[in-house]
Amino acid sequence: MIRNIPNKYTQEMLKECIDATHSGTYDFLYLRIDFQNKCNVGYAFINFVDVNSVITFARERVGKRWNRFNSEKRCSISYANIQGKQALIEKFQNSTVMDEEESYRPKIYYSSGPHKGEEEPFPSPTIPVELRRRRRQENRLQDQESN
């Protein structure tokens, strides 16, 4: 995960920043969004295709300030509970985030071949939208009850 991302960054801005030094080295990117406020929540899921890319990204970016919005935040990274492109696809494929506008959705990228680094079509949800929304509502109720 990439952390301490300034809240005004869009997923496209984050991608541009990553691609400046690491284009074609990751196959999944998702900048989490607060849909009510239309800004990111400060972290993103990324899946680098190999360990060396994680190491070089860390050397290049960790501890450094972001290059937009004059933010004092400094990039950091952490290990996410879910690892790997397929596992991340499975996590988000049937999420209600897939019902949001395109720019807010997770993105996957080809990691090899002539299209390496280009966006790949994200698999369509396999659960109907009504069921996805019902699940989200149930999760919110559970969260409220536990607080």
Q: What is the DSSP letter of 65?
A: B
The predicted-structure confidence for 86-132, as pLDDT tens digits, reads as follows 999 999 999 888 988 899 999 999 999 999 999 999 999 888 877 77
Identify the CA nearest to 8 among candidates 69, 99, 98.
Answer: 69
Closest among 42, 38, 66, 46 to 108, alpha carbons compared: 46
pTM: 0.86
Residue 18: which pLDDT band, with cuts at 50, 70 and 90?
Answer: very high
How far apart, in whole angstroms, are the C-alpha atoms of residue 26 and residue 108? Answer: 9
Q: 141 pLDDT band (50/70/90 cuts)?
A: low
